[in-house]
Amino acid sequence: MKVAVIQHDIVWANRDANFDALTPLIAEAANNGAQLVVLSEMFSTGFVVDRDDIGEITGGPSSSFLSRMAQLHNITICGSCPETQTDDPRPFNSLVVARPDGSFDRYSKIHPFTYGGEDKHFRAGSAFNTVLVNGVRLSLFVCYDLRFADEFWALAKDTDAYVIPANWPESRREHWMALLTARAIENQAYVIGCNRIGEGGKLHYSGDSRIIDPLGVVIADAGNASTIIYADIDATNVASVREKFPFLQDRR
């Protein structure tokens, strides 16, 4: 499966501006043969965690935008956005996967980023989600989740690739890159990390989006520019690596 990671800037709390900016980039990725397109965490608003009005209903403008793009270009596309449900006004940081048939999968970020105040305005999710896209098993995580290795381990045997959209600041970029590589190596799976660039919420974001193979080799690296990176990921390669190096069986 050909994966495209769109490393993009985000206009703060302006969904329409972000939709307009992303539309041609998504078209470019699809025209280049991408079957799965990954956008950043909070792709439509930026990491706005200090307002009570940032949420949108589940199935609102952000997920509707993803669905339009999926159906228009016959791709699967994902990115996270703040989605509310009727029982609580606080949104989940919801990683939405939109498919070309109009269906959705969702994962709600289990670990709100308390250091940045996300826990004050967002709800925590409670369940993991692994989905099948074009024969590849994708386990879904969001940004801060990357620091919690045991949860990646728990899903490893049924995972070919981890998808991790983020708003990870430049000040901790070495952590981002090291942890992405660690998750690939220790779980013998692809890791698809999509981070934003630019300025937002008084923070600078340097990108460093990358795709890493099951041996920990970086096979696509976005650096710090606005760009799209591509890589082919293959479930049979994951199986081959795990057969050659049967390390997961010794995990306790």
Give the active site residues: 41, 109, 143
Amino acid at 142: V
Closest CA to 163 of 137, 197, 124: 137
Place of tokens 């997920």: 63
**DSSP secondary structure string for all residues of 106-166:** EEE-SS--GGGTHHHHSB------EEEETTEEEEE--GGGGG-HHHHHHHGGG-SEEEEEE
Tokens of 38: 């990954």
Tokens of 219: 């096979």
Closest CA to 129 of 147, 112, 145, 113: 145
Amino acid at 226: S
Give the list of residues 6+ apart from residue 221 with CB closer than 8 angstroms, or none: 208, 209, 210, 229
- What residue spans of the chain are helical by DSSP H? 15-31, 61-73, 118-121, 149-155, 173-187, 235-244
Contact 5, 229 (CB under 8 A): yes
Cα–Cα distance between 216 and 197 in angstroms, integer? 24
